[in-house]
Amino acid sequence: MEANTMEEEEFGFSRNYFLARELGTSCKKSAHKLSEIDLVDEEELRIAASAIEPKHEKEITSLMHSYRSLYPKWVCELRCGFGLLMYGFGSKKALIEDFASTSLTEYTVVVINGYLQAINLKQVVICLSELLWEQLRMHQSTPLGNTLKVQQPFNTRSMDDLLAFLDGTHTEGNECYVCVVIHNIDGPGLRDSDTQQYLARIAACSHIRIVASIDHVNAPL
Residue 82: the pLDDT is 94
**Is residue 219 predicted with pLDDT exceeding 80?**
no
Mean pLDDT, the chain, integer = 82
Tens digit of each residue's pLDDT (9 = 90 or more) over 58-103: 888 898 999 999 999 999 999 999 999 998 888 899 999 999 999 9
What is the rounded distance in angstroms from the CA atom of residue 176 to the CA atom of residue 132?
Answer: 7
Residue-wise pLDDT for 145-197, tens only, equals 455 555 558 888 899 999 999 998 765 556 788 999 999 998 888 988 999 99
Q: Which residue has the higher pLDDT, 33 or 17?
A: 33
What average pLDDT does this structure show over 20-27?
Answer: 57
Domains of the chain, residue spans? 83-213
pTM higher than 0.85:
no
> What is the arithmetic mean of pLDDT over 123-142?
85
Q: What is the pLDDT of residue 144?
A: 46
pLDDT at 34 over 90: no
- pLDDT at position 205 over 90: yes
| 3-state SS string for the chain | CHHHHHHHHHHHHHHHHHHHHHHHHHCCCCCCCHHHCCCCCHHHHHHHHHCCCCCCHHHHHHHHHHHHCCHHHHHHHHHCCCCEEECCCCCCHHHHHHHHHHHCCCCEEEEEECCCCCCCHHHHHHHHHHHHHHHHHHHCCCCCCCHHHHHCCHHHCCHHHHHHHHCCCCCCCCCCCEEEEEECCCCCCCCCHHHHHHHHHHHCCCCEEEEEECCCCCCCC
Pairwise CA distance, residues 45 & 50, whole Å: 9
Q: What type of residue sits at position 114?
A: G
Q: What would the mean pLDDT of 123-139 be, rounded to a whole number?
A: 89
The pLDDT assigned to 210 comes to 96
Q: In the predicted model, is pLDDT for residue 26 greater than 60?
A: no
Confidence of residue 39 (pLDDT cuts 50, 70, 90): confident
